[in-house]
Structure 1
Amino acid sequence: MPSLACRRPSPNRAAERRWFDELPEDVLILIFCQCRIDELFALRLTNVKTRDLISEYIATVAPSVGRSTFPHNDLLLTLPGDPSDYTIQWLKGLIPQHLAAILVDRHRFSHEWAQQRYGIPAEDPYGNVLRARVANGWCVLRRLSKISEDVYNMNAKSVLRSTTDLAWKVVHPSRFKFEVFRQREDLILKRRLEYIKNIPDELAKDYKLMFMLLSSAFRTSLSNYGDDYKPWIFDWGCGIDGQRLLRRGNSWLTWFVLHEGPTLFWEQWWSLSPGCPKTKNYIRDRSIEAWFGEAKIEPEDFVRQFLPKEWNDVNEKWHSVQRDYAYRVQKAMEEKAASTSGDFTAVNPIVYFTQYAECRQLRAENGIAPVIETLSHVPFHVDFRCPEELFQKFCSLRNERAEVLTSPPRNGRVD
């Protein structure tokens, strides 16, 4: 039997290797066309040649990348009127549009009592107007998060307002660290408020409309009871009325959403594999990890020992700043949205959903088949444990009702 000794590499082996950007252009273009959006954007950052080649052939690459990313979403990929409309910006615009489609579609399943009434399937053109507004809201959220990203990428010296603050680095490191954090948040708030001041009122309304729908994805429903669900640890109350607190900016979770932006939802809802067990809890786990920050206690230990009545903030000094500033952003946006019209229907999606319910009923009466469902696999919800107080109240009401139903009827009549 011949020896199995390792084969020595050929002297010319190194010369035979090619870097990715040294492949023939037609091969590179074929590779680009097989990419998803995230992959193509990552490739554009590798080197100048790759970026320029993608830009040169974007009219060919873009529709293929769109189809690879959204294989069953025909309405989203409606062809532009002119091939020159296929651009990098067109691809980027698909992300908020698709997030809007998911939000409007999956909202039907946010509440057990909704019975699929409050939502519009992603492939139904009837929802185009609402989806366009929600997509605008996602773009506003992206801008707010980009402000945070830009400031957090600045070095400490650029953030601090005085040399005295810089001196704390040697004298009192923990105070220096907090000052850098606080002044970052000050700068972020200032830039965000300036941005909100200058956007059109209609954009503020679209943002508020989007956020109202988005809050419905965060659930602490009665069915979420037990150790399989992690508790809402961010605020006192453990998630009771959490959706409203999130919308208004009274929850720490609002700060986290403003900081992370649409990318957080893009990852869980579409970019990550829905078959991976961790995907459905991606947003929940990321938020819990961020809430603990550099706290010495391990998140898993805290969650395991969690007692709602003994809730305490692991980093109240920092989190109070974040809560306060998130509230100011949401309040400024609400005031901007109400500056020209205080009509609640302008920021209420229920109007669109009730109109669609009537349309759907008419279609059924005329024998028109329902629109095909394409987003059933999306892990839409961000599930937290049902608060103990809420669960106990539910149990009490259920027991009282059971007693009434099982008690014997009265024979006599009370005058």
Structure 2
Amino acid sequence: MLPLTRKRSTLVPASRDRRWFDELPEDVLILICCHCRIDELLNLRLTNLRTRRLITEYIATIAPSSARSTFPTSDLLLTRPESPSQYTVPWLKSLIPRHLAAILVDRHRFAHDFAEQRYGIPAEDPYGDALRARIANGWCVLRRLSNISQEIYGLRARCVLKSTTDRAWKFVHPSRFKFEVFRQREELILTKRLEYIKGLSDEMVKDYKLMFMLLSSAFRTSISNYGDDYKPWIFDWGCGIDGQRLLRRGNSWLTWFVLYEGPDLFWNQWWSLCPDRPQTKNHIRDRSIEAWFGKSKITSEDFISQFLPKEWNDVNEKWHGIQRDNAFKIQKALDERAMAASTDFTAVNPIMYFTQYAECRQLREMSGTPPAVETLSHVPFHIDFRCPEELFQKFCVFREGRSNVITSGPRNNA
């Protein structure tokens, strides 16, 4: 057994580790930065002043390499700017909403056999640039709405509460104090978000509505989603039977969760996390379920194992009611702004873009032009919940009736 003094001599203090990193030659640090993905590089900028200055000084070299490390197959996204001076940290940050837009436009696909149409434009097809630019604007609006929430939740309770009486509840009635802090946080978030929405341009409001319409399609409770592998939609009465519409309108608790988490929620599942990990494809679903239960006494596993759609109940109705109500007010304010800006429904509906692209594809096929390269097939795009029991039973009845018609048809003819 080594003496105690010997053991101490083999340990390297954390401060020495940091000094060692700081003392690396600049060319080595630049090489490290070039191999970082965007998220990693942005975090690295926060470690110390020297690293931040180095990244700023050599950003024209670091930015294109970091972007390629993050998006190795995205040639269209990483089209070289006209001048190297355009390689900046803001340029790097802008790639995230632009890539989320590319995923949303690419993966939004539904096959129509009768028309041979495909709703969705591949990320490497320049034809979708106009739509992707609008969707990226929508992601930026969602980012700001999320940041407002994160900033308010980062404040201390005394900065949120309006009066000393509210603060006194901390000692007299702790549970009431906790709820009052939560309620006034949500009020403050709602106020600041509505102020932000008033200052938005008409085009940005329409782009947000367009983006959210596409985004809602990622949440699925389809007939094929049946069995214990799919967790039920537990957030609202109806168990997701009309989940996409409720999400867009702000009638669902999930709308509040999306507004709170912002683009990071989708960036993680669609791109940042390893797509080969089993947990990645259900990252958004599982995060939302975890957040919905919060610190309630019942565990999510116990609740879901006993889940009965006809006996649906909210584990924390008082808190969730405020969140749903505020999410509805935000979506309603944006909808009203969008309607005031334009009465043309196609201005906030992506179908026009996709139908026009379907025609373009047909013309290309007729002329022998090869299709655009597919680069996002591996993205775990959909957020899958269990098919609502009511919908599944209707499907079973329909399938049984159709089967009876097919089997009895020839006998009647005979």
Q: TM-score w.r.t. structure 2 length?
A: 0.95
Q: How many percent identity over aligned positions?
A: 74
Q: In structure 1, what is the equivalent of residue 340 of structure 2?
A: 339
Distance 1:50 1:359 in 2: 48
Q: CA deviation at 1:12?
A: 10
What is the letter of the counterpart of residue 59 of structure 1?
A
What is the letter of the counterpart of residue 400 of structure 1?
G
Q: In structure 2, what is the equivalent of residue 267 of structure 1?
A: 268
Q: CA deviation at 1:341?
A: 1.3
Structure 2 matches for 1:14-413, cutoff 5 A?
18-108=19-109, 117-409=118-410
Is the 2:112–2:118 contact (alpha carbons within 8 Å) kept by the matching residues of 1? no
Distance 1:364 1:21 in 2: 56
Is the 2:117–2:355 contact (alpha carbons within 8 Å) kept by the matching residues of 1? no
SS at match of 1:283: helix
Q: Which moved more, 1:111-120 or 1:295-304?
A: 111-120
Q: Which runs of 4+ in 1 moved over 3 A?
A: 3-6, 8-18, 109-116, 408-412
Number of aligned residue pairs:
411
Distance 2:142 2:184 in 1: 22
SS at match of 1:371: coil
Is the 1:217–1:380 contact (alpha carbons within 8 Å) kept by the matching residues of 2? yes
Distance 1:285 1:255 in 2: 16
Q: CA deviation at 1:117?
A: 1.1
Q: CA deviation at 1:110?
A: 9.2
The change in CA–CA distance for 1:226 and 1:379 in structure 2 (over 3 A counts) is same
Distance 1:151 1:334 in 2: 24
Distance 1:28 1:144 in 2: 35
Residues 173-212 of structure 1: per-residue CA shift (max 9 Å, x gap): 1110000000000000000001001100111100000000
The change in CA–CA distance for 1:112 and 1:295 in structure 2 (over 3 A counts) is farther
Is the 1:232–1:384 contact (alpha carbons within 8 Å) kept by the matching residues of 2? yes
The change in CA–CA distance for 1:114 and 1:292 in structure 2 (over 3 A counts) is farther
Q: CA deviation at 1:112?
A: 10
The change in CA–CA distance for 1:113 and 1:302 in structure 2 (over 3 A counts) is farther
Is the 1:63–1:86 contact (alpha carbons within 8 Å) kept by the matching residues of 2? yes
What is the letter of the counterpart of residue 92 of structure 1?
K
Aligned Cα root-mean-square deviation (Å): 2.4
Residues 243-294 of structure 1: per-residue CA shift (max 9 Å, x gap): 0000000000000000000000000000000011100000000000000011
Is the 1:108–1:116 contact (alpha carbons within 8 Å) kept by the matching residues of 2? no
The change in CA–CA distance for 1:231 and 1:112 in structure 2 (over 3 A counts) is farther
Unaligned runs of 5+ in 2: none
Residues 110-130 of structure 1: per-residue CA shift (max 9 Å, x gap): 999997611100000000000
Residues 349-396 of structure 1: per-residue CA shift (max 9 Å, x gap): 000000000000000000011111000110000000000110000000
What is the letter of the counterpart of residue 49 of structure 2?
V
SS at match of 1:199: coil
Q: Which moved more, 1:196-205 or 1:403-412?
A: 403-412
What is the letter of the counterpart of residue 283 of structure 1?
I
Unaligned runs of 5+ in 1: none
The change in CA–CA distance for 1:278 and 1:13 in structure 2 (over 3 A counts) is closer
SS at match of 1:358: helix
Q: CA deviation at 1:340?
A: 2.3
Q: CA deviation at 1:19?
A: 2.2
Q: Which moved more, 1:263-272 or 1:301-310?
A: 301-310
Q: CA deviation at 1:411?
A: 6.1
SS at match of 2:295: coil
